[in-house]
Amino acid sequence: MLSEKIKGILLDVQKPGRYVGGELNSVVKNKEDVKVRYAFCFPDTYEIGMSHLGMKILYSVVNDIDYAWCERVFAPGNDMEEKMRELNVPLWALESGDPIKDFDLIGFTLQYELSFSNILNMLDLAGVPLYSKDRTELAPLVVAGGPCACNAEPIADFIDVFMLGDGEETTAQLVELVKKHKELGSSKIDFLRDIAQYKGFYVPAFYDVEYNDDGTIKSVTAKETAPEKAEKAVVADMDKVKYPEKFIVPSIEIVHDRVTAEIFRGCIRGCRFCQAGFIYRPIREKSPEVVEEQCRKLIDTSGYDEISLCSLSTSDYTGLQPLLNSMLDWTIKEKINVALPSLRVDNFSDELMEKLAVVRRSGLTFAPEAGTQRLRDAINKNVTEEDVMKTVDKAFAGGWTAVKLYFMIGLPTETLDDVAGIAQLGQRVVDEFYRLPDRPKGKGVQVSISASSFVPKPFTPFQWEPQDTREQLEEKQAHLLSSVTTKKIKISTHLSQSSFLEGVFARGDRRLSKVIELAWKKGCKFDSWDDQFKFNKWMEAFEEAGLEPSFYANRRREYDEILPWDHLDYGVTKQFLINENKKAHQSVTTPHCRIKCAGCGSNKLNGGKCDAISKN
Amino acid sequence: MRSVRINYSKSGRAIYISHLDLNRMMSRAVRRAQLPMWYTEGFNPHPYIAFALPLSLGQSSDCEYMDIRIEGDMTDDEVKDRLAAVLPEGFEIISVGAPTCDPKEIQKAQYFVKVIFADEEQAKFFAEKADELVKGDELLAEKSGKKGHRKVMKQVNLIDYIYDTKITAADCAVNLQCVLAAGNTNNLNPALLVETIEKNIGVRHTQMHIMRKKLITANGKVFK
- B111 and B183, same domain (yes or no): yes
| Span A581-586, average pLDDT | 97
Q: Residue type for B169, please?
A: A
Nearest by CB to A335, from B14, B39, B90: name it.
B39
Query: Can you state the angle between helices A385-397 and A416-435, rounded to 10 degrees?
Result: 30
Burial of A539 (C-beta count, 10 Å sphere; 0-12/13-18/19+): middle
Helix (H, G, I), strand (E, B) or coil at B63: strand
**What confidence tier does A442 reach under pLDDT thresholds 50, 70, 90?**
confident
Helix ranges (DSSP H) in A11-52 = 46-49
Supply the DSSP string of A241-268, one letter for each residue.
S---S---B-SS--SS-SEEEE-EES-S
Q: Does A176 map to a domain?
A: yes
Query: Nearest to residue A7, comparing CAs of A97, A113, A86?
Result: A97
pLDDT digits (tens, 9 = 90+) for A455-507: 999 999 999 999 999 999 999 999 999 999 999 999 999 888 999 999 999 99
Neighbour-count burial for B123-135, b at 16+ CB within 10 Å, e otherwise: bbbbbebbbebbe
Q: Which pLDDT score is estimated for A362?
A: 59
Q: Does B222 map to a domain?
A: no
Q: What is the pTM of this model?
A: 0.94
Query: Can you state the angle between helices A512-521 and A116-126, rounded to 10 degrees?
Result: 60
Taking the C-alpha atoms of residue A428 and residue A366, their distance in angstroms, rounded to an integer, is 14
- A30 and A121, same domain (yes or no): yes
Interface residues of chain B, partner chain A, Cβ below 8 Å: 12-14, 16-18, 20-21, 24-25, 27-32, 39, 44-45, 57-58, 86, 88-90, 206-207
Q: Which pLDDT score is estimated for B44?
A: 76
Q: Does A129 map to a domain?
A: yes
Across chain A, mean pLDDT equals 94
Using the 8-state DSSP alphabet, how is residue B50 labeled? E
Residues of B in contact with A22 (CB under 8 A): 12-14, 88-90
Q: Which pLDDT score is estimated for A342?
A: 66
Express the helix, strand and coil content of chain A in percent, nearest 5 each.
Answer: 40, 15, 45
Q: Does B223 map to a domain?
A: no
Q: Does A611 map to a domain?
A: no
Kind of pairing between the strands at B162-170 and B173-181 = antiparallel
Q: Does B132 map to a domain?
A: yes
Residue B169, min C-alpha distance to chain A (Å):
21
Q: Which pLDDT score is estimated for A349?
A: 65
Expressed as residue numbers, the domain containing B145 is: 104-217
Residues of A in contact with B21 (CB under 8 A): 17, 251-253
Neighbour-count burial for A294-314, b at 16+ CB within 10 Å, e otherwise: bbebbbebbbbbbbbbbbbbb
- B65 and B27, same domain (yes or no): yes
Using the 8-state DSSP alphabet, how is residue A403 labeled? E
The residue out of B41, B66, B99 marking a domain boundary is B99
- A211 and A286, same domain (yes or no): no
* ipTM attached to this prediction: 0.89
The residue out of B43, B69, B99 marking a domain boundary is B99
Angle at A404 between CA A401 and CA A406, to 5 degrees: 160
**What confidence tier does A607 reach under pLDDT thresholds 50, 70, 90?**
very high
Taking the C-alpha atoms of residue A418 and residue A413, their distance in angstroms, rounded to an integer, is 9
Query: Nearest to residue A565, comparing CAs of A279, A363, A347?
Result: A279
Total domains in chain A come to: 3
Q: How many CB atoms lie within 10 A of CB A465?
A: 25
Taking the C-alpha atoms of residue B84 and residue B55, their distance in angstroms, rounded to an integer, is 20
Dihedral (CA of A328, A329, A332, A337) sign: negative
Taking the C-alpha atoms of residue A281 and residue A150, their distance in angstroms, rounded to an integer, is 13
- A294 and A366, same domain (yes or no): yes
Residue B91 sits in a domain whose CATH number is 3.30.70.580
Helix (H, G, I), strand (E, B) or coil at A142: strand
| Span A434-460, average pLDDT | 90
B18 and A17 within 8 Å at the Cβ level: the answer is yes
- A12 and A130, same domain (yes or no): yes
- A600 and A489, same domain (yes or no): yes
Q: Please tell me the number of Cα atoms within 13 Å of B132 on its side-chain side.
A: 8
Q: Which pLDDT score is estimated for A76?
A: 98
Interface residues of chain A, partner chain B, Cβ below 8 Å: 2, 4, 7-8, 10-11, 16-17, 19-24, 249, 251-253, 300-305, 335, 360
A22 and B57 within 8 Å at the Cβ level: the answer is no
Helix ranges (DSSP H) in A88-153 = 116-126
- B9 and B42, same domain (yes or no): yes
Q: Does B48 map to a domain?
A: yes
pLDDT by residue for chain B (224 residues), tens only, comes to: 999 999 999 999 999 999 999 999 999 999 999 999 998 887 778 889 999 999 999 999 999 999 999 999 999 999 999 999 999 999 999 999 999 999 999 999 999 999 999 999 999 999 999 999 999 999 999 887 777 777 888 899 999 999 999 999 999 999 999 999 999 889 999 999 999 999 999 999 999 999 999 999 998 899 98
Q: Does A590 map to a domain?
A: yes
| Span A123-130, average pLDDT | 98
- A320 and A426, same domain (yes or no): yes
Residues of B in contact with A249 (CB under 8 A): 25, 28, 88
- B56 and B131, same domain (yes or no): no
Residue A433, min C-alpha distance to chain B (Å):
24
- A522 and A495, same domain (yes or no): no
Total domains in chain B come to: 2
- B68 and B108, same domain (yes or no): no
**What confidence tier does A7 reach under pLDDT thresholds 50, 70, 90?**
confident
Q: Which pLDDT score is estimated for A358?
A: 52
Q: Which of A24, A87, A257 to mutate to test the interface with B (most CBs of B within 10 A)?
A: A24
- A284 and A182, same domain (yes or no): no
The residue out of B53, B79, B99 marking a domain boundary is B99
Tell me phi and psi for residue B68, to 5 degrees.
-125, 165
B88 and A22 within 8 Å at the Cβ level: the answer is yes
Q: Does A248 map to a domain?
A: no
Taking the C-alpha atoms of residue B9 and residue A101, their distance in angstroms, rounded to an integer, is 35
Q: Which pLDDT score is estimated for A357?
A: 56
- A533 and A591, same domain (yes or no): no
Supply the DSSP string of A494-540, one letter for each residue.
--HHHHHHHHHHHT--TTHHHHHHHHHHTT---TTSTTT--HHHHHH
Q: Which pLDDT score is estimated for A360?
A: 47
Query: Nearest to residue A280, comparing CAs of A592, A565, A570, A502?
Result: A570
Q: Which pLDDT score is estimated for A346?
A: 63
A304 and B16 within 8 Å at the Cβ level: the answer is no
- A524 and A500, same domain (yes or no): no
pLDDT digits (tens, 9 = 90+) for A338-380: 888 766 666 666 666 666 655 545 567 788 999 999 999 999 9
Q: Does B177 map to a domain?
A: yes
Expressed as residue numbers, the domain containing A464 is: 259-511+547-606
Q: Does B88 map to a domain?
A: yes
In B, minimum Cα distance to A302 occurs at: B32
Taking the C-alpha atoms of residue B117 and residue A594, their distance in angstroms, rounded to an integer, is 71
Q: What percent of chain A has pLDDT over 90?
A: 84
Q: Does B121 map to a domain?
A: yes
Q: Which pLDDT score is estimated for A392?
A: 85
Tell me how far the alpha carbon of residue A319 is from its chain's centroid: 24
Q: Which of B10, B11, B15, B16 to mutate to test the interface with A (most CBs of A within 10 A)?
A: B16
Taking the C-alpha atoms of residue A233 and residue A167, their distance in angstroms, rounded to an integer, is 7
Q: What is the CA radius of gyration of chain A?
A: 24
Q: Residue type for A20, please?
A: V
Q: Does B212 map to a domain?
A: yes
Residue B173 sits in a domain whose CATH number is 3.30.70
The DSSP element (H or E) to which A584 belongs, if any, is helix A574-585
- A199 and A290, same domain (yes or no): no
Nearest by CB to A21, from B13, B25, B30: name it.
B13
- B92 and B139, same domain (yes or no): no
Residue A121 sits in a domain whose CATH number is 3.40.50.280
In B, minimum Cα distance to A16 occurs at: B16
- A366 and A426, same domain (yes or no): yes
The residue out of A521, A541, A561 marking a domain boundary is A541
Residue A310, min C-alpha distance to chain B (Å):
22
Q: Does A564 map to a domain?
A: yes
- B145 and B91, same domain (yes or no): no
- B27 and B87, same domain (yes or no): yes
